[in-house]
Structure 1
Amino acid sequence: MTLIKSISGIRGTIGGAPGDNLTPLDAVKFASAYALWIKENSGKAAPKVVIGRDARLSGSMIQALVQNTLIGMGCHIVDLGLSTTPTVELAVTHEHADGGIILTASHNPKQWNALKLLNSKGEFLDGAEGQKILDSADKEDFNYSEVDDLGKVQCIDDYIDRHIQMVLDMPVTQIDAIKAAGFKVVVDGVNSTGGIAIPALCRALGVEVVELYCEPTGLFPHNPEPLKEHLGDLCEAVKEHKADFGITVDPDVDRLAFVDENGEMFGEEYTLVACADYILGHQKGNTVSNLSSSRALRDVTEKHGGMYFTAAVGEVNVVQKMKDKEAVIGGEGNGGIIYPESHYGRDALVGVAMFLSLLTEKKMKVSELKASYPSYFMSKKKVQLVKGMPVDAILAAIHATYVSEEVTSIDGIKIDFADRWVHMRKSNTEPIIRIYTEAPTQQTADDLALRFIAELEEIAQQHA
């Protein structure tokens, strides 16, 4: 059981002891700290906060705790109920709110939940802002409102519909062409809010939808991270229903992956590649992704005459780099699409509209589209952290060993070899070290990952 406190929010497993897991006491404490920060940051005695949640089993409990704590701190609430991360992000700005909280543990399994914290722009807090909240939570120096100053709640239950309309209104969404194409898709909504949003968006675009796990019960039918090893049912359903492709998202709908017409993975890394290919075909400019993302985005960007830049892992880091480099599209290789013309947040609904629009332009099957891109293969593995493991010292030792190579150390250690790379970093969301590799073949990528896992374990033993 684990509680992870980071600048990106508070994430933990439900139950157990306070301070070790995400318990009711922890939810109240961190909600109080956020309320204190937002009152100071906005300069308002009664700031407005948007709240939404995914469908996981603990969602209603955590929302009640967080929402009533904010009310007790004098904050007014806009309650979206079941929602998605990008929907909440959009609602913050459209409701002229001072911040927002999404109650979701994203791709983590059902025992997890989290508080994802937003500023008045509907964007994740930066490092300094997040640290203020963590420090405040540790001090527990809160001053709750008296009865006449308690916050009020406004419930809005149609924001996913509003979000869909915003996507339809984007100039890059080719509504008529998509409707004319007569697509048929299978949607795996992992029994969360993607099962509400993605089928509704597709049907609004005239796409025939076969629903798979689209009831928002929170009973995840498989590991909710949209990776190949978890999507066997979707792959089979695409073939069974003779669909043009399959769509899957994580529980809070900020990650997006596709399955081609043959039931083969398009590859979550290539979600951003395809969407960037589409946008760059209409608007020249730069792109950004994080250090763990495929080189294929660089290749496609340069083909369109743009410049490609990397950022540390984490949406807030990618967003800042996109603003610095005036990128027209960016995101993360985990299937996260960030399109500034919509908003600075990963948005699977935006990605679906772009992908459908691209297919109408290319007039290709999804497998043919994938074959048109540079071919890279990734391996994504993890090493479980043992309490007290000196992660920084271990990564420093790796750095020293490969100092003659091209090494980037802004986020863990990334080593770029001539035709392959490895990126090792401590996760912000799980007690693990992630080891991502990319190479010209899958076997080479897997072997490279196993090689560095062995090196990490050997160094860890030396530090034990």
Structure 2
Amino acid sequence: MLTRRRGRRRTEETVMRRYFGTDGVRGVANELLTPDFTMRLGRAIAQQLLETTPHHPPRVLIGRDTRRSGAMLETALISGLCSMGVHAVSAGVVPTPAIAYLVREGHYDLGIVISASHNPARDNGVKLIGGDGYKFPDEYEAQIEARLAEAPEPFPYPPPDKIGLWQFDERESEQYLLYLLHTMRELTGEREPLRGIHIAVDCANGAASQYAPVVLHELGAKVSLYGGEPDGDNINLGCGSTHLETLQNAVLETDADLGVAFDGDADRALFVDEKGDPVDGDAIMTLWAITRHRQNTLNPPLVVATEMSNLGMQRRLEAEGIQLQRTKVGDRYVAEAMRATGALIGGEQSGHIIFSERATTGDGLITMLETLGLYLHYQKPFSEIAHPFTPYPQKLITIPVRDKHAWQTHAEIQSLIREAERKLETRGRLNIRASGTENAIRVMVEAETLEMVEATITPVVEAVRRALG
């Protein structure tokens, strides 16, 4: 079971795993993620499925983003699955949250997404989504990893008449589009609620490229599209939610009412107001929660966020009578806490937001529609509603290291952390953690003043670089 430690700093020990990180398997295509490895991964996944669904051949739905390596890895994965007797259906290029939605609607046993999210095109990954639409828990991924490490070669294949079937079904992606349109029309009661609204959209040359413009046009919006011409190599390249300056310039150049940027697999969304100022996930969650609370429809009065969310957000929510519950970084941990508490909203500063009435995982397109619903509700310029709290100054530094877990037992680093926490007391927070996707340590400090942030973070970062860099 997952364990959490109360307090301002997480220091629980991290289970060492070779392949699975915080968001599935991720690595450089044709280095870690070769066709051979991906086929073996498919077989290991199939073995796990066959054990848990013994009464029928398991059915798996597969989607991918726009990376050059996506089709190659999908083919290898399907070969591994089918060779063990699992049926596979390809939905093609779809957002990650589309698979989470379609797996539940289509009663699949498993969903798989081939994507490296916001990473550059050279990377790719394999994410697993359970039949209930939620990301696989750590313990299930650990079991698959054990099969990869221990399974004999060759795997014990079934007879020819038990080989799994494969098909491509474009109706799956169409069903997701219809769901998005229904969501906004249900939210507003209008067929074209966005008529007269000009929206700049940056699709990161990723999975949202085939979805966001279509949805917005169907809902009546005027759309200025950026990052909407994927070629296999330009996903997240100078565009999308990790390069928000592209959207900021676009909003100002086109005189748009607001802008939205997705990442490569469209599970997150960030925004820009009409003045070109960024609006992050903390701001959207706070605005949404306050609005629902004042309408007496936020039950329970709770927001789930990670340890990276800003203290300013927490203070504003508390002033409104709304509790903020923090989790480890990663939308899977947010989702787990939301299920345990019944929270209606939770997410990350980076734009992964889960609206539990509509989705089981972070969905950038649902986030876009819910945010546009707020914009329509208030009937004000976006800049007047999209900054509901004053953020505490915050700084996050990522430090490449040789061993990303050694900080937990390093005497000098631990001493500096204790000293920093003593100085901050209730006026700020320090968070230090191992990256889940790369060999690095992330140090975050927020405090009442920028001077306090710099004075706190500098000695800790220097010590980490000196000892572990």
Please confirm whether the aligned pair reaches a TM-score higher than 0.5, indicating the same fold.
Answer: yes
Match of 2:441 among 422, 433, 440: 433
Match of 1:253 among 247, 260, 266: 266
Are residues 90 and 221 of structure 1, via their aligned partners in 2, closer, same or farther at CA, if it must alter by over 3 Å? closer
Amino acid at match of 1:288: V
Give yes or no for the alignment of 1:362 onto 2:378: yes
1:51–1:80 CA contact under 8 A, matched in 2? yes
Amino acid at match of 2:200: V
Are residues 64 and 384 of structure 1, via their aligned partners in 2, closer, same or farther at CA, if it must alter by over 3 Å? same
2:103–2:132 CA contact under 8 A, matched in 1? yes
CA distance in 2, matches of 1:438, 1:405: 11
Match of 2:27 among 7, 12, 24: 12
Query: Which deviates further from its counterpart, 45-54 or 174-183?
Result: 174-183
Match of 1:151 in 2: 164
Match of 2:329 among 279, 296, 313: 313
Are residues 225 and 418 of structure 1, via their aligned partners in 2, closer, same or farther at CA, if it must alter by over 3 Å? farther
Cα displacement string for residues 169-200 of structure 1 (whole angstroms, at most 9, x for unaligned residues): 34872253972662101111111111122222
CA distance in 2, matches of 1:252, 1:84: 5
2:227–2:240 CA contact under 8 A, matched in 1? no
Give yes or no for the alignment of 1:213 onto 2:199: no
**What is the deviation of 1:397?**
5.3
Give yes or no for the alignment of 1:108 onto 2:119: yes
CA distance in 1, matches of 2:448, 2:250: 30
CA distance in 2, matches of 1:276, 1:80: 34
Match of 1:392 in 2: 408
Q: Which stretches in structure 2 are left out of the alignment for 5+ residues?
A: 1-17
Helix, strand or coil: the match of 1:176?
Answer: coil
Give yes or no for the alignment of 1:201 onto 2:209: no
Match of 1:380 in 2: 396
Match of 1:412 in 2: none
**What is the deviation of 1:438?**
2.6
**What is the deviation of 1:225?**
6.4
CA distance in 1, matches of 2:66, 2:170: 14
Are residues 457 and 404 of structure 1, via their aligned partners in 2, closer, same or farther at CA, if it must alter by over 3 Å? closer
CA distance in 1, matches of 2:80, 2:121: 24
Q: How many residues align?
A: 445
Cα displacement string for residues 35-59 of structure 1 (whole angstroms, at most 9, x for unaligned residues): 1111112224510111000101111
- Where does 1:449-460 land on structure 2 (aligned, <5 Å)? 449-460=457-468
CA distance in 2, matches of 1:288, 1:242: 34
Are residues 379 and 403 of structure 1, via their aligned partners in 2, closer, same or farther at CA, if it must alter by over 3 Å? closer
Query: Which deviates further from its counterpart, 89-98 or 305-314?
Result: 305-314
Amino acid at match of 1:460: L
1:280–1:301 CA contact under 8 A, matched in 2? no
- Where does 1:343-354 land on structure 2 (aligned, <5 Å)? 343-354=359-370
Match of 2:280 in 1: 267
TM-score normalised per structure 2: 0.87
Are residues 392 and 403 of structure 1, via their aligned partners in 2, closer, same or farther at CA, if it must alter by over 3 Å? closer
CA distance in 2, matches of 1:180, 1:197: 16
Cα displacement string for residues 241-282 of structure 1 (whole angstroms, at most 9, x for unaligned residues): 100111101100111101111222123442333343444444
Cα displacement string for residues 91-148 of structure 1 (whole angstroms, at most 9, x for unaligned residues): 1111101111100011111110001011111211112111101101101233223211
Are residues 269 and 109 of structure 1, via their aligned partners in 2, closer, same or farther at CA, if it must alter by over 3 Å? farther
Match of 2:430 among 422, 426, 431: 422
CA distance in 2, matches of 1:180, 1:110: 33
Match of 1:338 in 2: 354
Are residues 139 and 224 of structure 1, via their aligned partners in 2, closer, same or farther at CA, if it must alter by over 3 Å? farther
Amino acid at match of 2:345: I
Give yes or no for the alignment of 1:226 onto 2:234: no
- Where does 1:120-199 land on structure 2 (aligned, <5 Å)? 120-141=131-152, 142-170=155-183, 173-174=187-188, 176=190, 179=193, 182-199=196-213
Are residues 356 and 426 of structure 1, via their aligned partners in 2, closer, same or farther at CA, if it must alter by over 3 Å? same
2:395–2:453 CA contact under 8 A, matched in 1? yes
**What is the deviation of 1:355?**
0.6
CA distance in 2, matches of 1:38, 1:221: 33
1:178–1:356 CA contact under 8 A, matched in 2? no
Match of 1:323 in 2: 339
Q: Which stretches in structure 1 are left out of the alignment for 5+ residues?
A: 408-414
Helix, strand or coil: the match of 2:304?
Answer: strand
CA distance in 1, matches of 2:379, 2:82: 52
Match of 2:11 in 1: none
2:101–2:360 CA contact under 8 A, matched in 1? no
Are residues 239 and 335 of structure 1, via their aligned partners in 2, closer, same or farther at CA, if it must alter by over 3 Å? same
CA distance in 1, matches of 2:111, 2:169: 14
Helix, strand or coil: the match of 2:190?
Answer: helix
CA RMSD across the alignment: 2.6
Helix, strand or coil: the match of 1:179?
Answer: coil
CA distance in 2, matches of 1:177, 1:149: 47
Helix, strand or coil: the match of 1:12?
Answer: strand
TM-score normalised per structure 1: 0.88
CA distance in 1, matches of 2:195, 2:311: 31
1:378–1:436 CA contact under 8 A, matched in 2? yes
2:307–2:327 CA contact under 8 A, matched in 1? yes
